[in-house]
Amino acid sequence: MFNGRPAPDVEPEARARRSRVLVGTEGERTVQRSGHTGDRAVRIVRPRLPGLRVTAPGYVTVEQQPEPTGALARGWRAVKRVLIGAPIRSAHETHERLSKVAGLAVFATDNVSSSAYATEEIMRVLVLAGVGALWLTMPLTMGIVGLLVVVVISYQQTIRAYPNGGGSYMVASDNLGTVPGLIAGAALLIDYVLTVAVSVSAGIAAVTSAFPALYPDRVLLCLLAIGLITLGNLRGIRETGKVFAGPLYVYVGSILGMVAYGVIRWATGTLPPYTPPAGAFEQVVEPLTLFLILRAFASGSVALTGVEAVSNGVPAFKPPEPRNARITLGWMAALFATIFLGMSFLSGQLHIVPDPREVETVVSQLARTLVGRSWYYYLVQFSTTLLLILAANTSFNGFPRLASIMAQDKFLPSQFTFRGERLAFTNGIILLAIIAGLLVWGFGGSVTGLIPLYTVGVFIAFTLSQAGMVRHWWRLRERGWRLSMAINAGGAVATAVVAVVVGVTKFALGAWVVLVLIPLLVMLLLGIRHHYHKTALQLALPDQHEPVPADLDAERLQHTILIPVADLNRAALRAIAYARSLTGQVEHGEDNGHARIVAVHITDNVEAGERLKERWDRANPGVDLVVLESPYRALVGPLLAYINAIERQQPEATSIITVLLPEAIPAHWWEHLLHTQTALRLKGALLFRPRTAVASVPYHLRE
């Protein structure tokens, strides 16, 4: 169709020879080939091809890849095998369905783990107005729990509407358009990075609370934790209930037990005395303004991060998926709210003051005061660390997946869609690890330093997602749409208000970074899609009714093959034999009508050039030699000048120049240092030249 010519009838002998490559056969079976060239079957029997299996004519499956041969390559593969594991076939991917209990463990980790620092972050702001302002912790906690209830009910509507998973990027793109979708997407990407940084920092803070001697090394510990999570994800840890259930339920159990014990001690009036950590806040820094209270609220609203995880993961539940997801979401909110309220209440009753140097967390102070430095204290600290690190792990699932979805939509480089040997989105995982690592390092592993950047992106995504749901109900008007729309509208308003509160109160502290970054990211994402779009347009096939463009028409292309030779040696002869046989010009001066071959010797020494030309003409290797004198001793420049001159003589779009480099390849890689990297430099210089192809014809040295 494309060429407009029918496929010709080839004589069977030539067909048979070609089909050995095209089709291949397996074992002693005879494979019949019936391609588009006709139905004349060819019968050939060939030995089994190791590692390959012919599944159908024209279809070959690679059963086994060749082993690497170099020492470096083998070493690298061995290291990879140990760290990452053996490759997994695409067909072996497993899809686990989660019960409500397992689902709660997988999707609630991110949210529930924020109870480890939410209370503390409220207190850190309030204490700026003096220890006396800390009584506001409890009312603010209750306000945030109220907000949580609104958002959770709102998200239950999303689950109903998007049983296949409704992330903010998708809901906003679907209902509000590309740019709101990209804003939500950009906010989420930032959010995932910050989740890793904050969770890991908080997890290591729990460690250094128990073992203050490790405090100076907290950044190193954070980076180690990120490295471990990265490796685990490159190995392809799935969202498996088994891994997650343990830490979550141990954390919930130990914390709830501690809270219950504290409440009993409070009810019986036997709360133990509290010793603040060294250097605790005493003096008043700021007056207790409404702004400060709102800032404390904004800090605490970090408690809502991770709420959207369940609605993203609806399809992972056992059927009926939406119902199970909704129930799980409710349970998650209930668990989180209980812990959060309990911790804030007990902190208030014990008059706990946050540690200004961030050595000991509030949870650690609480546990230490209630149960002393007993085994129970270490259980709490240990399970907190584990849960927080698993929370970071959920971002390692979310970020690469979102990046791959956005890359499929052409908003991110296609590298993000690639899945590595273990089916993990390698590039997304590594990028996330690098950015999160840099953040942790830049902020010295301080949770409080990272919090102002964190929440604003979360609430922007919430708002866009809920607003998208409002639009969704309005468009579809399914049964009960009015109530759902009202709930989502309430959620949208509530989260929008919080987004504004967070943006304003935390603006100077760091939220501005995110507010500047999101539009920049959106512009970048749009720019990337524009590039791919342009590329696709330029690469699209011409319309079948159009004439074939000259530059794609084999019949009209004219080749000039230039072979730069340093000497008359076997490498040069190999390249010449290559060019002559490829073009079918086996006799000297023979011509297939499409290609001419010239050898070029570039030299700054004309006498040496003359000697070479004499030897050349005497040896008659089959192509003519042009001696190109380079008065400035350069190599690339004169060749380019020569190519330009040739092109000026035949300026049609149909002329192609091929530079064929005879390359003597040493037997050992380090011997490359002893050879001028002429080939490399020529390839670099010619890469951006239109209508110029560069090939190396290797002549491999044996020793």
First-to-last CA distance in the chain?
Answer: 50
> How do 655-665 and 558-564 pair as beta strands?
parallel
Question: 129, 151, 595, 682: which one contacts its own copies (CB under 8 A)?
Answer: 595
State yes or no: residue 213 binds its own copies (CB under 8 A): no
Question: 438, 584, 611, 652: which one contacts its own copies (CB under 8 A)?
Answer: 584
Considering beta carbons, is residue 314 or 612 the nearer one to its own copies?
612
From 139-147, 210-218, 299-307, 633-641, give the range in contact with its own copies by CB under 8 A. Answer: 633-641
Considering beta carbons, is residue 338 or 415 the nearer one to its own copies?
415
From 321-329, 360-368, 396-404, 588-596, give the range in contact with its own copies by CB under 8 A. Answer: 588-596
Measured from the CB of residue 589, what is the shortest distance to its own copies in angstroms? 4
H or E stretch covering 62: strand 59-62
Measured from the CB of residue 92, what is the shortest distance to its own copies in angstroms? 9
State yes or no: residue 524 binds its own copies (CB under 8 A): no
Count residues contacting its own copies (CB under 8 A)? 156
Measured from the CB of residue 523, what is the shortest distance to its own copies in angstroms? 15
* Residue 693 and residue 602 in contact, taking contact as beta carbons nearer than 8 Å: no
**Three-state DSSP class for residue 700:** strand
Considering beta carbons, is residue 401 or 556 the nearer one to its own copies?
556
Binding mask 542-581 for its own copies (x = CB under 8 A): x--------xxxxxxxxxx------xxxxx-xx-xxx-xx
Q: Which two tokens stand for residue 412?
A: 């991110």
> How do 52-56 and 59-62 pair as beta strands?
antiparallel
* Residue 345 and residue 338 in contact, taking contact as beta carbons nearer than 8 Å: no
3-state secondary structure 180-217: HHHHHHHHHHHHHHHHHHHHHHHHHHHHHHHCHHHHHH
- Which residues in 42-71 contact its own copies (CB under 8 A)? 46, 49-52, 55, 58-66, 69-70
Separation of alpha carbons 686 and 680, rounded Å:
10
Measured from the CB of residue 415, what is the shortest distance to its own copies in angstroms? 5
Question: 212, 276, 413, 490: which one contacts its own copies (CB under 8 A)?
Answer: 413
State yes or no: residue 606 binds its own copies (CB under 8 A): yes
Residue-level length of the chain: 703
From 85-93, 329-337, 343-351, 439-447, give the range in contact with its own copies by CB under 8 A. Answer: 85-93
Question: 96, 217, 478, 617: which one contacts its own copies (CB under 8 A)?
Answer: 617
3-state helix, strand, coil in the chain (%, to 5): 65, 10, 30
Residue of 458, 407, 410 lying closest to 193 (CA atoms): 458
**DSSP strands (E only) in 39-194:** 52-56, 59-62
- Residues in a beta bridge with 276: none
CA distances from 194 to 201, 441, 458 (A): 10, 13, 10
Residue of 595, 586, 600, 579 lying closest to 650 (CA atoms): 595
- Which residues in 653-692 contact its own copies (CB under 8 A)? 656, 658, 664-666, 669, 671, 673-676, 687-692
From 172-180, 194-202, 510-518, 587-595, give the range in contact with its own copies by CB under 8 A. Answer: 587-595
Residue of 262, 246, 208, 218 lying closest to 376 (CA atoms): 262
Residue of 572, 583, 574, 548 lying closest to 656 (CA atoms): 583
Measured from the CB of residue 73, what is the shortest distance to its own copies in angstroms? 9
Considering beta carbons, is residue 217 or 652 the nearer one to its own copies?
652
From 203-211, 238-246, 290-298, 408-416, give the range in contact with its own copies by CB under 8 A. Answer: 408-416
What is the DSSP-derived secondary structure letter of residue 317?
B
- Which residues in 7-36 contact its own copies (CB under 8 A)? 7-8, 10, 14-15, 17-18, 20-22, 24, 35-36
What is the DSSP-derived secondary structure letter of residue 286?
S
Measured from the CB of residue 539, what is the shortest distance to its own copies in angstroms? 4
Considering beta carbons, is residue 479 or 618 the nearer one to its own copies?
618
Binding mask 91-120 for its own copies (x = CB under 8 A): x-----------------------------
Measured from the CB of residue 561, what is the shortest distance to its own copies in angstroms? 8
Question: 475, 477, 482, 531: which one contacts its own copies (CB under 8 A)?
Answer: 531
- Which residues in 151-190 contact its own copies (CB under 8 A)? none
Phi, psi at residue 595, to the nearest 5°?
-140, 135
- Residues in a beta bridge with 56: 59
CB atoms within 10 A of CB 272: 13
Residue 476: alpha-carbon gap to chain centroid? 34
Considering beta carbons, is residue 121 or 647 the nearer one to its own copies?
647
